[in-house]
Amino acid sequence: MPVNLKAPDSLPPVPGVRLGTAEAAIKKPGREDLLLVALAPGTRVAGVFTRNAFAAAPVQLCRERLGAGREVRAWLVNSGNANAATGGAGLADARACCAAAAQALACAPEQVLPFSTGVIGQRLPVERLCAAIPRAAAALREDGWIAAARAIMTTDTVPKGASRRVKLSDGASVTVTGIAKGVGMIRPDLATLLAFVATDARLSPAAARSALSAAVAQSFNCISVDGDTSTNDSCVLAATARAGTRELDEGAADYRVVAAAIEEVCVELAQACVRDGEGATKFVTVEVRGARHADEARRVAYAIADSPLVKTALFAGDANWGRIVMAVGKAGVESLDPARVRIALDEVPLVENGGVHPAYREELGAAVVARPEFAIRVDLGRGAARARVWTCDFSYDYVRINAEYRT
């Protein structure tokens, strides 16, 4: 069961965005596993993608098409098959599916961005997928966000969505709505999982790119479930320009209002992915401060968040602070002075002056890690920089889910 996470009851539509789903039996029959998103003419689209060297065929095509500056009119998303490590055949498959989507929407194939998630190393069932695209096109509707969130799920247990509404200085109301999937193979590098965010704000192309990059830096690039970065990680933003009376660039006050709403949506989606982490029973915030620079703080935070020994102890409800000390020490912080490091679990101090805090009692630590949510707080005592990462524990179910993933 996810940690304090429920499926959204509803998600407000974004004018200029229509979503349709269909069953293509990509991995298994009996569920909708194909999503088609139609974007109004004039929509500005920005994206960030994985740095994994085995970037999937759809990621390669997305980079190519966004880099060429073509107007994007559609997103085509499938679950159950990653179309990764499939070579030239995988690229041909992705192009064929984009062509089918373009035919259904009366646009150019190069105006379709493809996204895939699921098993790596297998060819897409192109015939079944293309046959389902007209059904997804027939189902297009502005209020299709919840169905869309379900269609992109793999090992997720609940659909993930978030939305915000803000007012601009000219009185216009702007909507930001997003969905995401992904609960395993998560430790992002520039993006994560699959995440789709849309707004009707009138953002310039440069402003859309800046807003997305800033939001990802504070959200999807601050989470870890298992320390692995997927071949398919993608996060895209569509700005349909249906709201407001003037185009917003980065210097505008209204841009900051919209960018903040985009960041809030991304943070909520990113946290939802960790709360639903494969087999997760604990949602943990790792806060590191007192570092010399931000990269140093992030390195320590991820050393803790990614440690299997820390994560299994947390699952067991064991306040084994020695494992946290180990993780801090292995992070490669140059000339770290253990005597200056302080560590706490929520309000309970653990470590000070190179050893256990004199006020620490085992029952106090155990009470904290028994909670479904808590924080691990580290002060390195050597500067003013800080970082924050969200993670979860490792349970028996994580092993089971991944052992059975291809069955």
Residues β-bridged to residue 343:
351, 378
b/e per residue, 65-101, with b = 16+ CB within 10 A? bbeeeeebbbbbbbbbbbbbebeeebbebbbbbbbbb
Q: Which residues contact 224 (CB under 8 A, 6 or more apart)?
A: 186, 187, 274, 302, 305, 306, 389, 390, 391
3-class DSSP assignment, residue 90: helix
Active site residue 192: yes
Task: Please tell me the distance from the alpha carbon of residue 52 to that of residue 58, in angstroms, as a whole number.
Answer: 13
DSSP structure class, residue 153: -
Q: Which helix (H) or strand (E) holds 128?
A: helix 126-138
Residue with tokens 């092993």: 399
3-class DSSP assignment, residue 120: coil
Task: Please tell me the distance from the alpha carbon of residue 183 to that of residue 186, in angstroms, as a whole number.
Answer: 7
- Asked if residue 11 lies in contact with residue 163, where contact means CB atoms within 8 angstroms, the answer is yes
Where would I find the H helices in 18-86?
57-67
Beta strands in 43-149 (DSSP E): 44-49, 74-81, 112-119
- Record the tokens describing residue 98, joined without a space: 């984009």
- Record the tokens describing residue 341, joined without a space: 């490091």
Give the active site residue among 192, 199, 281, 391: 192
- Asked if residue 66 lies in contact with residue 47, where contact means CB atoms within 8 angstroms, the answer is yes
| Residues with catalytic function | 192
